[in-house]
Amino acid sequence: MIVFKTFLKVLNKNKGIILLYTLILLIFAYFNMENGETTTNFYAEKTDIYILLEDENIGLTKNLVDYLKSVSLVKEIKEEKLEDALFYRDVSMIIKIPKNYRIDTLNGINREIEIQSTGDYTASLEKMLLEKYLRIQKIYLNEQLEETKVIEQINETLNKKVTVELTSTLDRSSLSKAKLYFNFSNYAILAGLVFVICLMLTIFKEEKIKKRTLVSSLNYKKYNRILFLSNGLFTIILWLLYVLLGFVLIGKTMLSYHGLFFMINSFIFSMCALSIALLIGNVSQNKEALSGIVNVVALGSSFLCGAFVPMEFLPKSVVKISHVLPSYWFIKNNDLISNLEQISLKEVHPIITNFAILIGFIIIFSIGTNLISKKKLKQS
Amino acid sequence: MFWHNFKYTLKNLLKNKPLIFWTFAFPLILGNLFFLAFQDIEKKEQLEIFNIAIVEKEKTDHTQILKNAYMTFSEGESELFHIEYVSQEKAEDLLSDKEIIGYVILSENPKVVVSKNGIEETILKTVTESIVEEISLATTIQKEKIIDGLSKPEFDGNIEFLKIQVQKEVEEILKNTTVSLKDNSPTNLSYTMVEFYTLIAMTCLYGGMLTMTSINNNLANMCSTGKRIAVAPTKKRNVIFSSVLASFLVQLLGLALLFIYTIFVLNVDYGNKIFFIFLLSILGSLAGVALGCIIATLLKTNENTKIGILLAVTMSGSFFSGMMGITMKYQIDKNIPIINYLNPANMITDGLYSLYYYQTNTKFYFNVISLLIFSALLIILSIEELRRQKYDSI
């Protein structure tokens, strides 16, 4: 009980750091919750654009603007902020309709629409849609039709719709929200847990305290066991806190089998983080170096394994290297779970395999910790 | 005395391992991580060729036209996807195995089947719609042309011949009508550069820790060295100034290391305005020094709390200037600009960003002046606080 009480005392002293990482997790989760409408139907992706209209908004010009409004998300931005909006991807394309565009086009003069784009895939989609419209307009204009007739024909042609069937009934939006949350928890768990547990260990292993414990009547094995169990209890409490936070932020999805898998995955990972913490705590006894080590471990694994930048955006070489880190398997599992269509052996098998790999990491780290602590005990 | 204190402050700072880690090594580690995580992100945001399948459920008049139309999107410069012609069962399997992003069932009204919402799925839908629209367009023009042809005096009564002629004519029109857009897109659009700019900003401000540590060593209420200095018959101005100068030098050393590493190892291209970049970074470091000074002098608390406050100010500054996601900088600039006008990390980041992206240097000079005002104000306040400090007992 003495060991556990001391543990709680030290924990209480360091509640600030746990709150800090929880706060970071909350802020991050909040920013990801912004575009979270529930959907199980197909909807076309729309590009964010800005229309710089220099022509009078009538006739052909108005029809073009209306078309753009129907296929894209037109944003209202101050003109002096346009350059920034493009750079920061607030809009993917700025479409400038020049002065006298309508009159000149009707008179057969070729007036080009001016675009500024980010060159990403949404901009490519917008360009495709714009070119399609302008081509149809040109064809009808070449047929010497009147303006109103041209507009009518364009709209009639563009009115042809195609049926799109969505095979999956998964609520992708909510699942990707959950995936993002648990992916980011990789950082929060690693940073929070490893920092606090290492700090505990360094405090308990301070030269004077360690010597006093060694000569006391307390059985050394029992002391170690209580320390381990206290750390384990702290791990479970922190994991529960993050899961509860998940329930608040993600909601209903957490009650489905997806939620259950997410919880199991994060639990195994928390245990893995505990084993990492115990290993680091045994290797390094330097309190000052601790925050450096923790930051390198937590930030490193989070950046390299896709907790901040999705794995599909990482270079192949980085993904290959990240296979040696437990975070990779945790994040990969989050991805698999978010795509889980049904509970079948075929779909669940890779998830279970990744669980096993994570447990393998726990075993390796635990063996490492034991070997090091044995060596250190002999030395002392 | 000046050089004596200068020398020993330098020695002290360079021997302080945690301090050197945070000011020298940590920015390099973070730079490496940024490089590894972001090096491909912009390339991968461009459209890549994807796989689709086509299922011929029933043969109609349009089947071949539709197939040809899809072919135009699977070859040449404007290639969007690879096509596989398969049975419906096979297409379903391919879709569930994620081998294709969707398939099209060819019929009178083609149907697109996809497994999720997404940009590639939307492109498949848009292409299919374009093809259907093209057929409708052709039919409309053909109709108009046939009606026209019938009313012409040279019409010889052979409707079939007229139809074939019109069809050929329309095919020619569709083939030859192209449109072009005037693309004025800026070239410097790499937003990962901003991540490196925030890193420079963070390093500049982290340098404040060096100044703070060296000033703390001279304060009587902080340590015994400070007490001894307080009673020593020497000008405090010289002691403080030499300490600050030494820490500024160490800070510039750290910054130089970051530049050398990012330019020569990570191959970060800072463009051709490198002189302006260095100038802004030196001013940024000055702002870091000023921040360190003010926290060291104004706050009467222990060293750990001072470090905590400096870290909190630096990290929040970096956060608002876009370090943890550049959208944050944009949102703050757009909605609460006052925060970033007062944020030294943003003055540095924004100055570097304006050099990289804007054609004019107005915004750069604005940030330079902001940094100068910020540093001057904080240094004056610190001097006022440090002047004539006396203790009856301590």
In this predicted model, what pLDDT tens digit does every residue of B308-322 receive, in sequence order?
A: 888 889 988 998 898
Question: Among B143, B176, B209, where does a domain finish?
Answer: B176
Is the pLDDT reported for residue B115 higher than 60? yes
- Residues 297 through 326 of chain A touching chain B, CB cutoff 8 Å: 299-300, 303-304, 308-309, 312-315, 318
B163 and B302 inside one domain: no
User: Is B357 within 8 Å of A167 when comparing Cβ atoms?
Assistant: no
Q: Is residue B52 part of a domain?
A: yes
* B104 pLDDT tier (thresholds 50, 70, 90): very high
Question: Among A123, A158, A193, where does a domain finish?
Answer: A158
CATH number at residue A138: 3.40.1710.10
Question: Among A158, A179, A196, where does a domain finish?
Answer: A158
Q: Is residue A62 part of a domain?
A: yes
User: Is A164 within 8 Å of B330 when comparing Cβ atoms?
Assistant: no
Give the pLDDT confidence score for residue A168 in this predicted structure. 78
Weakest mean pLDDT among A76-80, A153-157, A278-282, B76-80? B76-80
Contact list, B96 vs chain A (CB under 8 Å): 167, 341
Q: Is residue A164 part of a domain?
A: no
A69 and A11 inside one domain: no
A204 and A273 inside one domain: yes
Number of domains in chain A: 2
Q: Is residue A284 part of a domain?
A: yes
A311 and A337 inside one domain: yes
Please tell me which of B118-122, B126-130, B204-208, B344-348 the model is most confident about, judged by mean pLDDT: B344-348
Exposure string of B300-330, with b = 16+ CB inside 10 Å and e = fewer, is: eeeeeebbeebbebbbebbbbbbbbebebbb
Q: Is residue B186 part of a domain?
A: no
Give the pLDDT confidence score for residue A36 in this predicted structure. 43
Any B CB within 8 A of A130 CB: yes
The fraction of chain B above a pLDDT of 70, given in percent, is: 99
Report the residue from B17, B33, B133 with minimal CB separation from A303. Answer: B33
* Residue in A closest to B187 by C-alpha: A118
B85 and B171 inside one domain: yes
The Cα of B276 is separated from the nearest Cα of chain A by a number of Å equal to 21
Helix (H, G, I), strand (E, B) or coil at A96: strand
Give Dmax over CA atoms of chain A in angstroms. 104
Question: Among A137, A158, A179, where does a domain finish?
Answer: A158
The Cα of B392 is separated from the nearest Cα of chain A by a number of Å equal to 35
In this predicted model, what pLDDT tens digit does every residue of B170-208 receive, in sequence order?
A: 888 888 888 889 999 998 888 889 999 999 999 999 989
Q: Is residue A42 part of a domain?
A: no
Helix (H, G, I), strand (E, B) or coil at B341: helix
A305 and A214 inside one domain: yes
B203 and B256 inside one domain: yes
B339 and B202 inside one domain: yes
B358 and B324 inside one domain: yes
Is the pLDDT reported for residue A25 higher than 70? no
Query: Is-contact A273 A238, C-beta < 8 A?
Result: no
* A34 pLDDT tier (thresholds 50, 70, 90): low
Q: Which residues contact A200 (CB under 8 A, 6 or more apart)?
A: A7, A10, A11, A227, A230, A231, A281
Is the pLDDT reported for residue A103 higher than 60? yes
A70 and A7 inside one domain: no
Give the pLDDT confidence score for residue A22 in this predicted structure. 72
User: Is B117 within 8 Å of A163 when comparing Cβ atoms?
Assistant: no
Give the pLDDT confidence score for residue A9 in this predicted structure. 84
Q: Is residue B185 part of a domain?
A: no
In this predicted model, what pLDDT tens digit does every residue of B263-296 receive, in sequence order?
A: 999 988 888 889 999 999 999 999 999 999 999 9
A120 and A185 inside one domain: no
Whole-angstrom CA distances from B77 to A88, A340, B49, B81, B177 are 29, 37, 11, 11, 17
B287 and B326 inside one domain: yes
Report the residue from A125, A166, A288 with minimal CB separation from B114. Answer: A166
Sequential DSSP letters for B68-103: HHHHHTSSSTT--EEEEE--HHHHHHHHHTTSSSEE
What span, in angstroms and rounded, lies between the C-alpha atoms of A77 and B349? Answer: 23
Give the pLDDT confidence score for residue A177 in this predicted structure. 85
Give the pLDDT confidence score for residue A221 in this predicted structure. 77
Give the pLDDT confidence score for residue A38 in this predicted structure. 46
Q: Is residue A28 part of a domain?
A: yes
A179 and A251 inside one domain: yes
Q: Is residue B184 part of a domain?
A: no
Give the pLDDT confidence score for residue A35 in this predicted structure. 43
| Parent domain of B18 | 9-41+194-386
Q: Is residue B253 part of a domain?
A: yes
What span, in angstroms and rounded, lies between the C-alpha atoms of B214 and B296? Answer: 9
Give the pLDDT confidence score for residue A37 in this predicted structure. 44
B126 and B215 inside one domain: no
What span, in angstroms and rounded, lies between the C-alpha atoms of B328 and B317? Answer: 11
B285 and B356 inside one domain: yes
* A44 pLDDT tier (thresholds 50, 70, 90): confident
- Closest to B270 (Cα-Cα) out of B30, B31, B23: B31
Q: Is residue A323 part of a domain?
A: yes
A217 and A295 inside one domain: yes
Question: Among B117, B143, B176, where does a domain finish?
Answer: B176
B153 and B54 inside one domain: yes
Number of domains in chain B: 2
A129 and A228 inside one domain: no
In this predicted model, what pLDDT tens digit does every residue of B338-370 receive, in sequence order?
A: 999 999 999 999 999 999 999 889 999 999 999
A296 and A319 inside one domain: yes
In this predicted model, what pLDDT tens digit does every residue of A349-361 receive, in sequence order?
A: 999 999 999 999 9
A303 and A244 inside one domain: yes
Identify each DSSP E strand in chain A by its residue range.
Answer: 47-53, 72-74, 93-97, 114-117, 163-166
B51 and B37 inside one domain: no
User: Is A84 within 8 Å of B136 when comparing Cβ atoms?
Assistant: no
Q: Is residue B183 part of a domain?
A: no
In this predicted model, what pLDDT tens digit does every residue of A185-222 receive, in sequence order?
A: 898 889 888 888 888 888 888 888 888 887 888 887 78
Cβ neighbours of B68 (radius 10 Å): 10
Give the pLDDT confidence score for residue B15 in this predicted structure. 93
In this predicted model, what pLDDT tens digit does every residue of B17-46 receive, in sequence order?
A: 888 998 899 999 999 999 998 888 888 888
Provide Rg for chain B, Cα atoms: 34
Query: Is-contact A165 B111, C-beta < 8 A?
Result: yes
B117 and B258 inside one domain: no
Q: What is the mean pLDDT of residues A231-254?
A: 89
Weakest mean pLDDT among A229-243, B15-29, B159-173? B159-173
Any B CB within 8 A of A284 CB: no
User: Is B133 within 8 Å of A156 when comparing Cβ atoms?
Assistant: no
Give the pLDDT confidence score for residue A259 in this predicted structure. 94
Higher pLDDT, B380 or B69: B380
Q: What is the mean pLDDT of residues A261-267?
A: 96
Any B CB within 8 A of A116 CB: yes
Q: Is residue A249 part of a domain?
A: yes
The Cα of B279 is separated from the nearest Cα of chain A by a number of Å equal to 23
Bridge partner residues of A53 (DSSP): A97
Contact list, A184 vs chain B (CB under 8 Å): none
Q: Is residue B391 part of a domain?
A: no
- Residues 182 through 221 of chain A touching chain B, CB cutoff 8 Å: none
* Residue in A closest to B117 by C-alpha: A42
Residue B109 per-residue DSSP state: S
Helix (H, G, I), strand (E, B) or coil at B357: helix
B239 and B157 inside one domain: no
pTM for the whole thing? 0.85
A174 and A254 inside one domain: yes
| Parent domain of A24 | 2-37+170-379
Q: Is residue A314 part of a domain?
A: yes
Q: Is residue B393 part of a domain?
A: no
The number of CA neighbours under 13 Å toward the Cβ of B110 is: 30
Is the pLDDT reported for residue B380 higher than 90? yes
